[in-house]
Amino acid sequence: MKEVSGRITDLPARVGAALAATLVWCAAALDPAAADVDAPAAPRIVSLAPHLTELAFDAGIGEKLVGVVEWSDYPAAAASLPRIGDAFRFDLEQILRLEATHALAWGGGTPPGAIAELEALGVAVEIIEIETLEQIGGAIEQLGVLGGNREAATRAATSFRSRLSGFRAGREPTRHAVSIFYQVSEKPLFTLGGRHVINEVLGLCGSVNVFGGLDTEAASVDLEAVLARDPTAIVIGSDDETDPGTRWRSYPNLHAVACGNILQVDPALLVRPTPRVLDGARKLCTWLDEEVANTDDPACGPDRH
């Protein structure tokens, strides 16, 4: 009897709970917004670097982007997004007009002062650090969490890691590393230092960055410093239709010039730390294997020095 009595005593409470649940369901059916009163608002994100724009789409949160910097040209959907400046100067008024709640900052690249200004305006800054190829996968996952699409981001990160592992496994170790000068721009003469992921990309192809010893992501260098290092090959990041190697041909004694080892590449495929970097690496490796490492001229081989 005690057990039966307990059930009867609990009955009004159970009926009340069921009735309350039914009323909530009905209210949600009539007004879907009512069910999400306590749900956090979706982030409105601005990207402060082209590679971060690309990574956001890789992570499946491209629809959360409300503004991007210049040169955010991949994927195609990024081209139609409002511009908020370039990678180093941002239009704070435009960012406020876009009602941005979050900003994606490039660790080691976005100026600290710009980060401080955004935070002072109430914009939460998410710093994305990428110094190794492995960190590309982690960055995609980080963005997936921020944008509320963890599952899609995990799939993309796993796919990239699998491709990277397969790339490494498919490359045979080289006996002599090819020394490369990577040119970001001609005037001023700009290159990439030891903190940039390109060093690992070059390593996939059995090559080394002649300025890999610089403790920076990018740096302006003197022409004399390049000549002194006498690289085996020069890789120029440019989509310019004119011949970017014209300047270097003024120095015929330079190893790379004497042996015709000058290559123009799409900078987005080698400089941007995104999954597409493996596409750029594959093209670079093919060129080095076919045109540089396997030359019949002993004066032009990677072990000339």
Is residue 32 predicted with pLDDT exceeding 80? no
Q: Which of 24-28, 119-123, 292-296 has the lowest mean pLDDT?
A: 24-28
Structural domain containing residue 81: 45-167
Q: What is the pLDDT of residue 3?
A: 37
Same domain membership, residue 160 and residue 53: yes
Which of 139, 167, 195 is a domain's end point? 167
Q: What is the pLDDT of residue 292?
A: 85
Answer whether residue 23 is part of any domain: no
What's the rounded mean pLDDT across residues 187-207? 93
More confident residue, 37 or 214: 214
Same domain membership, residue 52 and residue 125: yes
Answer whether residue 38 is part of any domain: no
Is residue 72 predicted with pLDDT exceeding 70? yes
Q: Over the chain, what is the mean pLDDT?
A: 86
For the residues of 115-144, what is the DSSP string, one character each?
HHHHHHTTPEEEEE--SSSHHHHHHHHHHH
Same domain membership, residue 141 and residue 190: no
Same domain membership, residue 146 and residue 219: no
Is residue 84 predicted with pLDDT exceeding 90? yes
- The β-bridge partners of 182 are 235
- How many degrees, rounded to 5, is the angle at CA 268 between CA 118 and CA 149? 55
Q: What is the pLDDT of residue 173?
A: 65
> Band of the pLDDT at 187, cuts 50, 70, 90?
confident
What's the rounded mean pLDDT across residues 116-145? 97
**Interval 168-185: pLDDT, tens:** 998 876 667 899 999 999
Q: CB-based contacts of 29: which residues, under 8 Å, 6+ apart?
A: none
Whether the CB-CB separation of 284 and 278 falls below 8 Å is answered with no
Is residue 56 predicted with pLDDT exceeding 50? yes
Q: Distance between CA atoms of 260 and 254, rounded to whole angstroms?
A: 10
**Interval 228-264: pLDDT, tens:** 999 999 999 988 777 778 889 999 999 999 999 999 9
Q: What is the pLDDT of residue 230?
A: 97
Is residue 302 predicted with pLDDT exceeding 90? no
Is residue 216 predicted with pLDDT exceeding 60? yes
Same domain membership, residue 296 and residue 178: yes
Is residue 112 predicted with pLDDT exceeding 80? yes
> Band of the pLDDT at 165, cuts 50, 70, 90?
very high
Q: What is the CATH number of the domain that holds 147?
A: 3.40.50.1980
Same domain membership, residue 294 and residue 270: yes
Same domain membership, residue 153 and residue 52: yes
Same domain membership, residue 56 and residue 159: yes
Q: What is the pLDDT of residue 6?
A: 37
Q: What is the pLDDT of residue 243?
A: 77
Is residue 269 predicted with pLDDT exceeding 60? yes
What's the rounded mean pLDDT across residues 35-46? 75
User: How many structural domains comprise the chain?
Assistant: 2
Q: What is the pLDDT of residue 64?
A: 98
Whether the CB-CB separation of 46 and 67 falls below 8 Å is answered with yes
Same domain membership, residue 196 and residue 142: no
More confident residue, 296 or 162: 162
- Cα–Cα nearest to 231, from 270, 261, 264: 261
Whether the CB-CB separation of 178 and 292 falls below 8 Å is answered with yes
Which of 143, 167, 191 is a domain's end point? 167
Same domain membership, residue 249 and residue 154: no
Which of 116, 145, 167 is a domain's end point? 167
Q: What is the pLDDT of residue 171?
A: 80
Using the Cα atoms of residue 78, residue 82, residue 86 and residue 87 in order, give the sign of their dihedral: negative
Is residue 86 predicted with pLDDT exceeding 70? yes
Same domain membership, residue 92 and residue 54: yes
